[in-house]
Structure 1
Amino acid sequence: MKLWLRLLALLLCCMASPAQAQAEEAQRQVLVMLQLPKAHYRPDGSYAGTYGEGVGRQSRQQTAQALAQAYKLEMRSEWAMPLAGVDCFVMRLPEGDARTSADAARAVAEDRRVAWAQPVGLYRAEASQQEPLYLAQPAARQWQLAELHKLATGRGVRVAVVDSGVEARHPDLAGQVVFNENFVDDKLPPAEGHGTAIAGVIAARADNGAGIAGVAPEARLLALRACWQAPQEQTLCTGLSLAKALYAAIQQGAHIINMSLGGPDDRLLALLLDQAQARGAMVVAALPRSGGPDQFPASHPGVLVVGSALPLPVGAVLAPGRDVPSTAVGGGWAVVSGSSFAAAHAAGLLALVRELDGRRGTLAMKTALVTAAQGRIDSCATLARHAGTRGVACTGLGQTAD
């Protein structure tokens, strides 16, 4: 009997869930970047940032194959990134290889043919467990959303939700999602809890007489699935899936990019964040859990860092993030908590700001929001600053409570 119990225990240990297997596979991957030549030097003669199927691409593919063979890696896929100026080749450590992906990346990076190489990092959403919905919407009271919506609703603003899957057919999100793509796998984007809740906080409909109202109910969402649901209420992402989602956000003209997640520093993601900001996008990140090394993308210059509780680090701001009702998978609603949802509130408010600023755009993140003591966002003062002579409908302080 004891032998059978041991065999059963061994079998259960070996049977990893699909989500766990996905995370383990990602941590065996290495991203190898090969530099693209300047446009006027490209063999295919392209000058406008296009990427043709010419001699240059074939040469890089041959180089990547040679690198994989030389460093005992398996070639997985290729991703052309003209905006970043590199070709990304995804390679993998073979089964039984005792090296870490970081060790392999360091070795490959020393090769003069390589722009850089990096392991694929793992990222986690900054949220806590969902609860059954009860009748309360603290943000509506604290930020006086009904009054703010007399001035702006986010019309014409595109907000990228870089997260897990969004339930686009939810009654409170119907018609809000204009782009829905899956960068985790080749399947249709599934409906998942964290991404659906983030989408609802930002842009749930305000005209359907049901559920909640988003901070920017007339903004339009780019649902970019870079993360997936894992056991124990976790939402996980990889650096590669996040990079692909960020690239899509840039291509789709996102004005605001919400990243309610945290993980290790990543050179490719940092480059793409710089590209997004250079094109006028405002990037919002959730404040990571304190004390850990995984502070990216909150640590990146120019990113707005948002927390849900005091104390805050220097430069971070406070927004509603505790006991927040939002959209849930299955067409319902749930109460959620965490800095993930504080970031979503700030992203929604920035969408209102963007609408008021119009084609001028918001020149600097530092001047976009008005904050009171201890970094509390004052929503009314923020819109008053950007509304100009139109005035502001709410006169009381519209900031996050303790």
Structure 2
Amino acid sequence: MINNQRLLPRVTMIWTRSLDRGPMAGRLRVARAVREAVRSRAITSEHVMCDGNGRRGLGWAMAVLANGLRDLPRYGLLPLQCWIYGSEAEVRALIARIDPDCDVIYLDGVRLLRLLEGLRRRFPDKWIVVDLDDLMSRRMRALLALREPLVPGYLGARLPAPLRRLAGGIAGRLVARFEALTLPRAEARICELADAVVLLSPSDLAELPAGGRARRVAITPTVSHRPHASARLKPGPIRCIFIGSDALTQNRLTIDFLLDVWRRFELPLDLVLFGQQERLLSLPPRVRLEGYVESLDEVYDGRSVLITPSFLRGGIKTKVLEAMSYGTPVIGNSTSFEGVPISGYPLQVEGEEALVSLLRDLGSKRAVLEAAARIGLDHVREHHGAQRFARDWSNVLCLPAEKS
């Protein structure tokens, strides 16, 4: 707990990758917001846990396998992602770098379970919080239900090209099955060792089984306050947009669905896809790619509607909150709005038929679009402000309400 002899508490934050490289999206955006919230109320020191001693290719894969086999007698079968961050030498080296006088330790995700084991032995009385972000066991079950592989994400750069290709097929599905079997035990162990665990979505929190010492908290992500955002649409044609790279399964499923709908139904609307795409996409009429953009101000232009029917449950779709913060209407289904409890949102539609019916007549529904934009804007201003986010994180980390 907090040392009362000092004016400001000290928080050690341990990440699984650098937060200052890569596009501002998804988990990186949320992690940076967490860091900013903690910095506003504490003195922070940060460390990055290495994922295999800097190796690449086959050497990296063999080091990861060695981690898992070495830990088998002591810890049992852990998830593959825990193997990746399970180097005994790296765990010892990082623990040695931690300030013994720090008050709180923050860990970035379930994959740092091996580090958590070591930290709890070294610092039995420290307040340790694990930010689970999404409940990964639930995500793996959802992938299995859809027969989708587990995509390696930013760690894919570590793999040689043949292994990356295998990961996109049957090997990726086998890994998803392995993770689905092993993650529940890892999550339960984290709840035994940590003082608190945090998830983004109340829906994920409800799926986390009871047990263990940890306090369980859902802290929904913050979005930037935009005082000049307006729910009024500008005059002129309305376009539909989607933001996201097909490197992520949830985005790929949505992109493929939208391209199929535009191709089969010849909708009288432009669809613009933003984000870096890994595949060479065949685009139907009225669909175009714009690639990665540095600022969302280039995307949300007052004439756009975010369309994001989703097929992979779990977490909170941050693109939905971002669009709402700009006063942009969002078309989606129940999965799109999971963790965003807005009763009676007028643009939540279920099924292809209802979606196509809405899109065919979208140009005449400006009043409905503006009403939805107003509901969304009011929601994010009330529930996803930076002050509320910082207060929630201060509470779970046992920090003072304000930085002196």
> TM-score normalized by structure 2?
0.32
Q: Comparing both structures, which one devotes a greater share of its residues to strand?
A: 1
Q: Comparing both structures, which one devotes a greater share of its residues to helix?
A: 2
> TM-score normalized by structure 1?
0.32
